[in-house]
Structure 1
Amino acid sequence: MKAHPSLPARKPGLLQRLTQHEDLNFLLTNRVPRQALTHLVGWYSRIRSPWLTRLSIWVWRRFTELDLREAKQQQFDSLHACFTRELKPGARHVDVRDDIFASPCDAIVGACGPVQGTQVFQAKGFPYQLGELFGPSQDTTPFHGGHYVTLRLTSAMYHRFHAPHDATLEHVTYLSGDTWNVNPVALQRVEKLYCRNERAVLNLRLDRGGHRVALVPVAAILVASIRLHCLDVRLHLRYRGPNEIGCREPFAKGQEMGWFEHGSTIIVFVPPGFTLAEGVAPGARVRMGQALLQLPASA
């Protein structure tokens, strides 16, 4: 079949528009005073005013796919209450099979797959080392040659995260850092972005098999605040220490562990022997409790 004569002329124009859109996106979300803006939004989100909150949510819906039909609460007196909303009972189904590692949150799957020795990818062509993400105090040996899954939460999503299996939270490392946007445009332009941003490393020991796994919540612009139910501090940019927090908190599969104050990313790390569940691939949407990984067969 003969090509349409106008196609060659239109393709560069489309590519140019896409590039310009990415440039504008990157400019608006990263070439700004990120930490100052994050503090400002944090302050604004806590203003208790029902009418201001309704207006803010109306604007929010104009730019995102925000859907509050599953929210336990339908009226909010602040944006913070909306950001950190709970869901109605039964809104999420947790896969209770003992050999299934469930998704800890609602998310869009980003980069995922095998850990290449100690190397992980945030996006194609942008690798980082496990030690750079976990920090100098952490032993990453259990995850060498294992698997990882990047879970990106958009601003409109449910922002609470849950235990992916029956497990004990044994240690938390908090690493203060920057607040780069973690959207796909930034991930393809900012080297080792996850290793630069504020983050926490949650070390868990699964009841089944004693496997060590890690959840790494990474904060971002407008987000930089992570809350864990088992700690009496809110992890945010003004919280400088102690960076190493010992704990021994048991969690049942699906039990709520904490939340982000807007939306960001959780990177899951598991040791060798785990495999990705069916359908888990970059771009796939998953819900909290859905099968994410398959555990190794019991000894």
Structure 2
Amino acid sequence: MASTVLTPSDCSSPSHSNIITPRIRLPSVKPHKQFLIWASILLIFTVFFDTNIMAQSSFKQYLRSLRWTPLPVGVGLTLIAFQQYRHTRKREAARLGQLQPSDCLAEQWEVEAYKLLPLRYFSRAWGWMTNLELPEWSRRSVLGLYVKSFGCNMNEAEVEDLNKYTCLGDLFRRSLKAGVRPVDISAEVVSPADGKVLAFGTVDKGHLEQIKGVTYPLRRFFGPNCWTFGGPTLVEKDTDECYQNTCVTNPKNDLYQCIIYLAPGDYHRFHSSANWNVTFRRHFPGELLSVNPSIAAWINDLFVLNERACYMGHWKHGFFSMTAVGATNVGSIKVHCDEELITNQRKWRKEDFTDKHFDKSSAFSRGTEFGEFNLGSTIVLVFEAPKGTKVCVEPGQKVKVGQALFRIPETFVGKTSLERVSSGPQM
């Protein structure tokens, strides 16, 4: 910007007494318009980057070798929104048979760009905000807005009056009235939480199903097996299928899995799914990416990347495990039998994890409260059961705590004669 500077001698001169210094002014642009301009530039660059430059494998390798730096939140969210739009179109094309499901997954550079967002710091800030005490006069309006936005059923809550909740975090972690979540005694494995079933069934060749058409390896999700016999388990070959065999103690059994996604409006405490004993815990301080079903269908190995607390033990049929997976704004995971667990730490090392062996195994029965999330997230069940175990749910079905997930044939403890005949999905 250029400007004219007048000295005192110039100002005293008659020839300059009536001269006004001209100033160049740039047109003012409102902040939201500036954001739209930069977002448009970023989108144009992304399209060019994806269609032209990223086609060169050597340039891809060069980019992966660079040291990444954090992106501004607004730029990163714009990039995610654009990539999610492209992903939605690809999923629709795959549904019509125009693309293969594998073509809908995010590329490695897209995942790395997503991981650049300061989601861990954002989650810590969100946790701090949700624990701020609200003035009593504002609780009904602030908390009521959240209840209406996410469809929380306060009629089931032990405390229905919103004025009794001092902060938003108390509402997240609300307890329920006694008896509103009866446990189905006809099923040996029941739902640990309120949520939506994303995947279920047997583990296939050492791979778990993240969502329909997207899988991830069991050995990367659990890490080295050092809990089965109290030490590292030796396998004949370092393969996913051999790793699966280390989790099965009885050759007559299969390894089963079930994934339940907790939405923000759901009940945020989780309970024990079966009668079992916890003997071991492994904590992975990973990323805090979103576990929304749309993101789970876009990012491969999502649950392997995210922070998680895996609890292993045994039940009467063999191996049993329940894993609480963290997500964006869900950095806080609390487990009642494990006070040493600290999640969402400021600093952590990639591919690092901590183990804990329980001196005395903690026994849990079906429906017993196990822990809580600060906001909705995901529970992953992996357990050993006899072959032919019946699944009692369907894909995308909403389930409640204590609802039947799996029934084992020829185990009729607590069943009525009608339930023995009809063992189909519980709707």
Give the TM-score normalised by structure 1: 0.82
Deviations 1:129-169 (A, max 9, x none): 10111123556522595221110010111111111222211
Q: In the alignment, is the contact (CA less than 8 A) between 1:273 and 1:295 conserved in 2?
A: yes
Q: Measure the CA separation in 2 of the matches of 1:58 and 1:162.
A: 26
User: Which residue pairs with 1:136 in the alignment?
Assistant: 224
CA contact under 8 A between 1:174 and 1:244: conserved in structure 2?
Answer: yes
Name the structure where helix makes up a greater proportion of residues. 2
2:151 counterpart residue number? 65
In the alignment, is residue 44 of structure 1 matched against residue 120 of structure 2? no
Out of 268, 288, 297, the residue aligned to residue 179 of structure 1 is 288
2:358 is aligned with 1:244: no
The 3-state SS of whatever aligns with 1:236 is coil
Q: 1:168 and 1:65 mapped to 2: Cα distance?
A: 35
Alpha carbons of structure 1 residues 46 and 296: separation in structure 2 relative to 1, 3 Å: same
* Residue matched to 1:152: 261
1:1-299 map, 5 Å: 19=85, 32-51=117-136, 52-74=138-160, 75-97=164-186, 100-138=188-226, 140=244, 141-142=246-247, 145-206=254-315, 209-238=316-345, 243-247=354-358, 248-273=361-386, 275-278=389-392, 280-295=393-408, 297=410
**Unmatched tracts of structure 1, length 5 or more:** 1-17
Measured against aligned partners, the alpha-carbon deviations of 1:7-44 in whole angstroms (never above 9, x if no partner) come to: xxxxxxxxxxx947959xx99xx684211110111101
The one-letter amino acid paired with 1:266 is I
The 2-side partners of 1:101 and 1:137 are apart by 23
Q: Which has the larger radius of gyration?
A: 2
Look up the match of 1:12: none
AA in 1 matched with 2:313: L
Identity of aligned residues (%): 27
Asked which structure has the greater RCO (Cα within 8 Å, sep 6+), the reply is 1
The structure with the greater share of residues assigned to strand is 1
Q: CA deviation at 1:76?
A: 0.4
Per the TM alignment, residue 123 of structure 1 is displaced from its structure 2 partner at its CA by 2.2
User: CA offset at residue 252 of structure 1?
Assistant: 2.1
Rounded to whole Å, the distance in 2 between the matches of 1:127 and 1:20 is 21
Q: Would the aligned equivalents of 1:187 and 1:193 in 2 still touch at CA under 8 Å?
A: yes
When structure 1 is superposed on structure 2, of 64-73 and 174-183 the one drifting more is 64-73
Amino acid in structure 2 at the alignment position of 1:93:
P
Deviation readout 1:200-230 (Å, 9 max, x if unpaired)? 1111322xx2422111111100001211111
User: Hey, what's the Cα distance between the residues in 2 that align with 1:67 and 1:233?
Assistant: 32
Structure 2, unaligned runs of 5 or more: 1-83, 90-105, 229-243, 412-427
RMSD: 2.8
Contact persistence 1:102–1:291 (CA under 8 A):
yes
